[in-house]
Each structure stands twice: as C-alpha cells, then as structure tokens.
Amino acid sequence: MKLQISHLTKYTYEQPVIDSMNEIRLTPRTNDDQVCHEHTILIKPNVQLCSYQDYFGNKVHHFSIASSHQELLIESRSIVETSDQPDELKQHLPFESELEILMSDSIQNQYAEYLMETDYTRTTPELRRFCSTHIQLNEMNGVYQLLEYISSLLFSNLTYDSTASHVHTTVEETLRLKRGVCQDYAHLMIAICRIYSIPSRYVSGYQFIADLNDEQTEIQHASHAWIEAYIPILGWIGFDPTNNGKINWRYVKIGHGRNYSDIVPVKGVYQGIGSQHLEVSVDVKVLKTAL
C-alpha cells in the first residue's frame, strides 16, 4: 500500500529568538517491510539542511538559524510503500532453546544497548511484581507467544489517556496510573522484555487509521510509537501494545532507539525570552493512483 504522510511542526515564540539549533528525525526508513519513495523537508525561515546517520541508523537532518525570528515551521512530506509482516511469524525452535540463545554471550553482547535499563524503562520491584503476578513462563510455548501475551496484557490493563502523561513519563508512573499514550505503552513493554532478556527497541512512526473511522476527514492523526523485539531465527518483529495489534501495512516506521529520547522527531535549542507555542499536525492518506 502506498501512503502519503504530511507532518507539520510549528513553533511560535512570544518574543523574537536567535541562534536556533535543531535536529529532525522524520525520514521514513527503507527496509524489508517498507520503501520510502519520496521525502522532502521544508523549513521556514529558509535554511540549509545537513544530514547524517545516527548510531541507530536513523537519518537525521539538522540546521541552525542565527538571525532573529518569531516563528519556525518544519514541514515533512513522504510517500512510503508498505507491506504486511509474513504470516509464518511463529515458533521455529523449542522455547527452551530460544531462551538459551537470548541468554548467550553473543546475543547479550550484540544487542547490549537494547537490553540495558534507561531512565524511561527501569525494571523496578513494582514492575517485577506485576510480571510475576500476570506472566507465567511455563505456560508459554515460545518467545513470539510471550510477546503477544505481553502486548495483550498491557492493552487490557492500561487505559489510553492523552491527558495522563507527558514526554518524560517513566515506567513507574505508567504502572501506577495504569493509563497513558502510545509512548508509555511502548516503554512499559520494552521494560518487561528486558526483564526476560529479550532485546527490544522503541519505534517511532505513523499509523493509518482513517478507514477504521468511516473515512472521517476531521480525524486528527498523530505520530505513533510501538516496539520491535528480537526473536531467535525470526529477527526483529514489531508489536503495538497500544492497539494490541500486529505491525502491518498501516504502519510507517521512521526509526528506532532504546527509548523515546533516542528518536525525538524534532528537538532544538534557542536563545530568547518568553514562552513558546507548539502546534503539530499529521495527515496520513492512502494514495489511490500509482506513482
């Protein structure tokens, strides 16, 4: 499926600011599940964009604005062709063998950054009690089934609430509140995966949902977050605990990291006084005609 994505970020400053320096991670990946055919970024005031690839393989654009300005507009437009994950994503080894592989030195060393705790994903005593209460490894047939169960568990135990959290919300807070947004669901699932020594990473991207709501044009899309976990033989497989769904053609991946802080879509600093106002709008459409 070909999807067209428009992502508009607008900063309005109470007073003029100078020396604005920014990084943008908004370029969709090209991988086995999707192909980014087009991607453009428009900045106002006009600036020169530079780019590099970060440690996790994400494409990063950066720019600076030395002159005085009271508004910053960043518009990202993409056309991405997506596909579904294969249907045969099931167990290929006995569960015991999978766990042995995950605990091996080679896997522990190769994916060390996706096994370590972070400020967002601490494995607290409360989280371990939650897992021991709700997850019985002896009832699982494989890592894939375990991940499906964790996704379903979070979907059932948490309530989606856009007012309950913020970009710095931790696993401890999410577990206490039992509510949050996709970022919180993803961080919590990552933390649980790390308890079971399953390498896992935070994914930033988009999800097409218009046809699930009778094609209502007034639907407000937003950036979405989910996780990818490493399964022996299968490799990195995506799971969306917010919707308890499989990653399919509806999802467009921008990039991944250990947690949200590694893949912030837009971040920057500037010199100035007064407050700022942020507006973000995202639109995801299916292209009806061929490219």
CATH at residue 109: 3.10.620.30
Alpha-carbon distance 64 to 50, whole Å? 10
pTM: 0.93
The answer to whether residue 109 sits within a structural domain is yes
Please name every residue paired with 44 in a beta bridge, in sequence order, or none if there are none.
Answer: 73
Alpha-carbon distance 201 to 215, whole Å? 32
Place of tokens 């409360």: 126
**What pLDDT score was predicted for residue 191?**
97
Please indicate, yes or no, whether residues 176 and 118 belong to a single structural domain of this protein.
yes
Q: Which residues contact 103 (CB under 8 A, 6 or more apart)?
A: 197
pLDDT less than 70: residues of the chain: 86-91, 212-222, 289-291
What are the backbone angles phi and psi of residue 157, rounded to the nearest 5°?
Answer: -95, -15
The answer to whether residue 258 sits within a structural domain is yes
- Count of residues for the chain? 291
Please indicate, yes or no, whether residues 99 and 148 belong to a single structural domain of this protein.
yes
Please name every residue paired with 11 in a beta bridge, in sequence order, or none if there are none.
Answer: 72, 278
Please indicate, yes or no, whether residues 105 and 238 belong to a single structural domain of this protein.
yes
Please indicate, yes or no, whether residues 275 and 255 belong to a single structural domain of this protein.
no
The answer to whether residue 88 sits within a structural domain is no
Q: Which of 237, 254, 200, 277 is nearest to 9 (CA)?
A: 277
Q: Which of 223, 212, 262, 205 is nearest to 33 (CA)?
A: 205
Count structural domains, the chain.
Answer: 2
Task: Please calculate the CA angle 257-263-265 and round it to the nearest 5 degrees.
Answer: 160
Please indicate, yes or no, whether residues 118 and 51 belong to a single structural domain of this protein.
no
Please indicate, yes or no, whether residues 258 and 269 belong to a single structural domain of this protein.
no
The answer to whether residue 184 sits within a structural domain is yes
Alpha-carbon distance 220 to 36, whole Å? 23
Please indicate, yes or no, whether residues 154 and 237 belong to a single structural domain of this protein.
yes
**What pLDDT score was predicted for residue 291?**
47
Please indicate, yes or no, whether residues 110 and 182 belong to a single structural domain of this protein.
yes
Which residue range forms the structural domain that includes residue 154? 95-262
Please indicate, yes or no, whether residues 67 and 138 belong to a single structural domain of this protein.
no
The answer to whether residue 90 sits within a structural domain is no
**What pLDDT score was predicted for residue 242?**
95
Please indicate, yes or no, whether residues 166 and 205 belong to a single structural domain of this protein.
yes
Q: Which of 96, 90, 175, 186 is nearest to 134 (CA)?
A: 175
The answer to whether residue 291 sits within a structural domain is no
Fill in the amino acid letter for 41: I
**What pLDDT score was predicted for residue 253?**
98
What is the per-residue pLDDT across 147-206, written as a single tens digit (0 to 9) for each?
999 999 999 999 999 888 888 898 999 999 999 999 999 999 999 999 999 999 999 999
CATH at residue 62: 2.60.40.2250
Please indicate, yes or no, whether residues 126 and 256 belong to a single structural domain of this protein.
yes
Please indicate, yes or no, whether residues 31 and 142 belong to a single structural domain of this protein.
no
Place of tokens 């970022």: 183
Alpha-carbon distance 58 to 29, whole Å? 8
